[in-house]
Amino acid sequence: MSAIDYAEKIPNNVNLVGDRTLQRALEHWQPHFLQWWHEMGPNDFEGADVYLRTAISVDAQGWAHYGKVRMPDYRWGIFLADPVAERKIGFGDAMGQAAWQQIPGEYRSTLRRLIVTQGDTEPASVEQQRLLGHTCPSLYDLRNLFQINVEEGRHLWAMVYLLHAYFGRDGREEAEELLARHSGDADKPRILTTFNEPISDWLSLYCFTYFTDRDGKYQLKSLAESAFDPLARTCRFMLTEEAHHMFVGETGLSRVVKRSLEVMKEVGSDDPDRIRAAGAVDLPLLQKYLNFWCSSSLDLFGSEISSNSAANFANGLKGRPDEDQYEDHGLREKTLNLVTPQGASDVPMLNALNEVMRESYLKDCEIGVKRWNRSIERAGSQFRLSLPSSRFRRSIGAWAGQPVDPQGSLMQRELYEKSLASWIPSEGDKAFVHSLMQKVIEPGRMAGWIAPPERGINNLPLEYEYVKLH
Ligand code: BYC
């Protein structure tokens, strides 16, 4: 286990003190990061004391330390999972060779692009969520939001460390650019589409942390297999933080469903108008939010047929999540039958890896939906939630721009355009959801549209003052 040195200006377990040049470069970037946090983060809450967890070691057994912290004082740092002795490359054409501690010249620009794309999402999500604190449904939820925000900030540090340590001047310039692009900015947007979508209500936040953070899990797991060992180790530790973000999404949506079912029982009806009048989210409305965020997140896997994914795998840069579970790690002989609007065809497996990953991601997304449907069934309702087809509302890949309904069938474009407002949130739906978003900050109390969580944080009661506002 490597301890984290908190005496340093930048907490780290990478012996930063042993590399003065790197240390100075990162200490130069640090105030730029803090300035970005101050301008683009949840800056209206800078004075609040938040019950946050902070990494104190990187081993699995309880790395977290909990305590009240003002967010600008959070100790963002550089934490890599411990090295695996004599680690070998686990897939691709160089399988079995020693993992790289430095980047082979020929893969420099591709790896830089992957790291920058990953890094870009982290501050993007903080920007997307920066105003949500004003409409929190409880102090418990407010604390979870801020926990996610500071950890996304740390994930940015994780990528910036790699850029500074392994990419020289180019890397330092990219690190500055990560603070210069902004979510939704007309001139300098974030790289991936989902990270330019506004997240202006908590229903969207729970969907984002359910669907988009889960893409994060899959991407980080595939980068955790990388032949470039420092990237693999960084991602392994990031995954331990990512789990909490998905927990917030999954339990958040479960609590919304639970409350809807309670209100349906109270009013003795499942009529959406009556549920809304009683101040809760009707299930068809929740379905629209699921359709929106799931389809947007599906784009994050890239095209179904991708020469980038083939090269990244063959060259050992990016594997499949949990590469160990597969038998064939070369994939030179395999094909996958893919259906595109042009028809079905066999595609070399190497070129279809984005799709393979998207399919396993969808299976993971199904787990929560099944659980929500079980509670809906138990409550005696006929309604069922579902995930949209992976062909629905796509902007990237073979199905981009195709008029496809949520079940996956091609339809007339005119009818598709007309029907879209019944499949994803309309302006009226969004206005209704926004009307529910009233700040609740009395310890232990919940907004009327969401059920309380089953338990508090770190064994504390729900009534604990998770955020002390000033
Ligand atoms: N939007 O061959 P293609 C997370 C671009 S989330 C815009 O189809 P490829 C988090 C693509 O960049 C995880 N552009 O796909 C969650 C490429 O452009 P270049 C983030 C897109 O390259 C919540 C071109 O289209 N991590 O951590 O095989 C909160 C052709 O690409 C999109 C990563 O994404 C899109 N949706 O795969 C906080 C991992 N999709 O490069 C954080 C790093 C594709 O030719 N990134 N394009 O100019 C990657 O592995 C890959 O870049 C992608 C695309 C999986 C995104």
Protein residue with its CA nearest to atom 31 in ligand 1: 302
192 C-alpha to ligand 1 centroid (Å): 6
Range in 3-7, 190-194, 207-211 with the lowest mean pLDDT:
3-7
SS (H, E, C) 168-235: HHHHHHHHHHHHHCCCCCCCCCCCCHHHHCCCCCHHHHHHHHHHHHHHHHHHHHHHCCCCEHHHHHHH
Report the C-alpha gap between 212 and 220 in whole angstroms.
12
**Residue 33 in contact with residue 157, Cβ under 8 Å?**
yes
Cβ < 6 Å from ligand 1: which residues? 113-114, 117-118, 121-122, 125, 152, 192-193, 212-213, 215-216, 219, 299-303, 306, 308-309, 318, 354, 396
* Averaged confidence pLDDT in the chain: 96
Atom of ligand 1 nearest to the CA of 218: 13
State pLDDT tens for residues 31-80. Answer: 999 999 999 999 999 999 999 998 877 776 667 889 999 999 999 999 99
CA 409/CA 406 separation, integer angstroms? 8
Show Cβ contacts of residue 126 under 8 Å, excluding neighbours closer than 6 positions. 37, 40, 41, 42, 149, 152, 153
DSSP reduced 3-state for 143: helix
The answer to whether the beta carbons of residues 112 and 170 sit under 8 Å apart is yes
Q: List pLDDT tens digits, range 203-258.
A: 999 999 999 999 999 999 999 999 999 999 999 999 999 999 999 999 999 999 99
- Name the pairing type of β-strands 343-348 and 64-70: unpaired
| pLDDT at position 6 over 80 | no
pTM (global) more than 0.95:
yes
In 3D space, the residue among 157, 198, 211, 205 whose CA is nearest the CA of residue 9 turns out to be 157
Residue 328 CA to chain centroid, in angstroms? 29
State the residue for tokens 């395999």: 334
* Per-residue pLDDT reduced to its tens digit, 402-446: 999 999 999 999 999 999 999 999 999 999 999 999 999 999 999
* Distance from the alpha carbon of residue 193 to the mean position of ligand 1, in angstroms: 9
**Rounded to whole angstroms, how far apart are CA atoms 145 and 166?**
32
Amino acid at 148: I
**For atom 14 of ligand 1, which residue has the closest CA?**
192
Q: Residue 181 carries which DSSP code?
A: -
CA separation for the pair 304, 357 (Å, rounded): 10
| Cα–Cα distance for residue pair 66/71, rounded to 1 Å | 13
Which ligand 1 atom is at minimum distance from the Cα of 397?
Answer: 8
d(CA 234, CA 242): 12
C-alpha atoms less than 13 angstroms from C-alpha of 449 in its C-beta half-sphere: 27
> Cα dist. 74→5, 243, 466 in Å?
15, 20, 16
